[in-house]
């Protein structure tokens, strides 16, 4: 695999300073990864300064939506790391999305090297507070210049990075139950991490915000009877002391954080069930007090508690919490693993080299 490092990055890195307030995804690191696909093969992997792209107005991504992405993080807390967390799982899901969207798959070596190289050069800019991170966004899009309705033959793979704090500013979420629109249908693209899935939910997001909610809860497309997921995150509830999450169908994204929490819950002795979860069952359990907790999970949100669920007409089903929070225990366990504060018995954590990144930030590397 050929790697080319643009000499301009030294200046870009040495002049970059973190702002006092980061937010989530608002501050972009000064370097990025770029790699092109042409004639059925991937080209040189390039580390370049962060800068705008130049694309033809007829690039197929603009017209036919061939685009996929991933979300992952690098951690560096109390001098530990930087660590990536299960990047091979993001690579596998990236390729599943690519196959569904008629796009070329990415060799594991190319994907892993890309996120590690970018993390290495961005290491000085990773915030060191627990729960903060360097958010990494690998993505790929069609670049062929042609208006015919056919799969593109040319693509660009990129990775950008954003030093970030918490995704949500509130301590707990109010969630709107979406009973009109759906996020995904059986046989559709619900399992793929592609932009169209999220664009289709933006109307609901606007309505939810106007009604005082911070998120949307999506139901199944056939009967609107079963809980699926939220916009960009999976969901867990605690009912009768048992942790429950909807079973994966081809309409639900297979979250890496979701999978981690299931394993951690089992090892912590938490009673767990993965099954169909009816919205009527959930509401009744909240009303009777049998549902004592709910939380969203995902790379960006980690584990975020849910205050309750509501309807368009203003009805709100508030969860009455009881005792110790299972979600908070899982969150702390997960962060301890991700940030290097606890021994990684699962082999999930990947240490990233600092051989060049820190020197580059001081302008001391010749390329």
- Looking at the fold, whether 84 and 111 belong to one and the same domain comes out as yes
* 277, part of any domain: yes
Question: CB within 8 A of 290, min separation 6: which ones?
Answer: 239, 240, 284
pLDDT at 363 over 60: no
pLDDT digits (tens, 9 = 90+) for 32-74: 999 999 999 999 999 999 999 999 999 999 999 999 999 999 9
- Is residue 21 within 8 A of residue 157, CB to CB? The reply is no
212-236 b/e (C-beta count within 10 Å ≥ 16 → b): ebbbbbbbbbeeeebbbbbbbbbbb
State the greatest distance between any 2 C-alpha atoms of the chain, in Å, as a whole number.
66
- Is residue 197 within 8 A of residue 205, CB to CB? The reply is no
- Looking at the fold, whether 43 and 159 belong to one and the same domain comes out as yes
| Res. 169 pLDDT band, cuts 50 70 90 | confident
- Rounded to 5°, the CA angle 214-216-221 comes to 175
- Rounded to 5°, the CA angle 313-318-319 comes to 150
- Looking at the fold, whether 199 and 300 belong to one and the same domain comes out as yes
* pLDDT confidence of residue 356: 59
CATH number for the domain including 30?
3.30.470.10
- Looking at the fold, whether 138 and 188 belong to one and the same domain comes out as no
* pLDDT confidence of residue 321: 86
pLDDT digits (tens, 9 = 90+) for 314-359: 999 999 987 789 999 999 999 999 999 999 999 999 999 887 555 4
Taking the C-alpha atoms of residue 197 and residue 231, their distance in angstroms, rounded to an integer, is 9
Number of domains forming the structure of the chain: 2
Nearest to 240 by CA among 206, 281, 209: 281
- Looking at the fold, whether 201 and 326 belong to one and the same domain comes out as yes
* pLDDT confidence of residue 168: 86
- Looking at the fold, whether 295 and 315 belong to one and the same domain comes out as yes
The residue out of 114, 148, 166 marking a domain boundary is: 166
* 261, part of any domain: yes
Owning domain of residue 68: 3-166
The residue out of 137, 166, 195 marking a domain boundary is: 166
Question: By percentage, how much of the chain surpasses pLDDT 70?
Answer: 96
- Is residue 56 within 8 A of residue 188, CB to CB? The reply is no
* 356, part of any domain: no
Taking the C-alpha atoms of residue 363 and residue 9, their distance in angstroms, rounded to an integer, is 9
* pTM as predicted: 0.94
* 361, part of any domain: no
CA distance readout (Å), 38 to 98, 107, 155, 202: 16, 15, 7, 33
CATH number for the domain including 209?
3.20.10.10
């Amino acid at each position: 695999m050929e790697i080319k490092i643009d000499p301009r990055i030294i200046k870009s890195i040495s002049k970059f300073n973190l702002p006092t307030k980061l937010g989530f995804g608002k501050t972009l690191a000064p370097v990025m990864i770029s790699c092109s696909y042409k004639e059925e093969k991937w080209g040189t992997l390039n580390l370049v300064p962060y800068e705008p792209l130049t694309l033809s107005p007829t690039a197929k991504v603009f017209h036919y939506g061939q685009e996929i992405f991933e979300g992952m993080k690098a951690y560096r807390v109390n001098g530990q790391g930087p660590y990536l967390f299960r990047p091979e799982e993001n690579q596998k899901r990236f390729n599943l999305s690519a196959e569904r969207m008629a796009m070329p798959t990415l060799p594991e070596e190319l994907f892993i090297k890309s996120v590690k190289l970018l993390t290495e050069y961005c290491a000085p800019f990773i915030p060191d507070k627990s729960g903060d991170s360097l958010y990494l966004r690998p993505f790929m899009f069609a670049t062929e210049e042609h208006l015919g309705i056919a799969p593109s033959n040319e693509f660009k793979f990129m990775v950008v990075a954003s030093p970030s704090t918490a995704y949500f500013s509130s301590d707990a979420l109010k969630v709107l139950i979406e009973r009109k629109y759906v996020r995904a249908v059986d046989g559709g693209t619900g399992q793929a991490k592609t932009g169209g899935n999220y664009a289709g939910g933006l109307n609901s997001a606007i309505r939810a915000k106007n009604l005082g909610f911070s998120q949307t809860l999506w139901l199944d497309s056939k009967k609107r009877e079963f809980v699926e997921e939220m916009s960009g995150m999976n969901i867990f509830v605690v009912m009768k002391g048992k942790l429950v999450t909807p079973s994966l169908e081809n309409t639900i994204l297979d979250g890496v954080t979701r999978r981690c929490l299931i394993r951690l819950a089992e090892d912590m002795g938490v009673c767990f069930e993965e099954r169909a979860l009816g919205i009527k069952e959930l509401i009744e359990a909240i009303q009777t007090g049998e549902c004592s907790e709910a939380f969203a999970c995902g790379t960006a949100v980690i584990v975020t508690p849910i205050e309750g669920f509501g309807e368009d007409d203003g009805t709100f089903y508030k969860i009455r919490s009881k005792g110790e929070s299972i979600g908070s225990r899982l969150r702390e366990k997960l962060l301890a693993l991700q940030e290097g504060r606890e021994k990684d018995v699962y082999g999930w954590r990947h240490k990233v080299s600092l051989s060049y990144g820190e020197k580059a930030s001081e302008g001391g590397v010749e390329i």
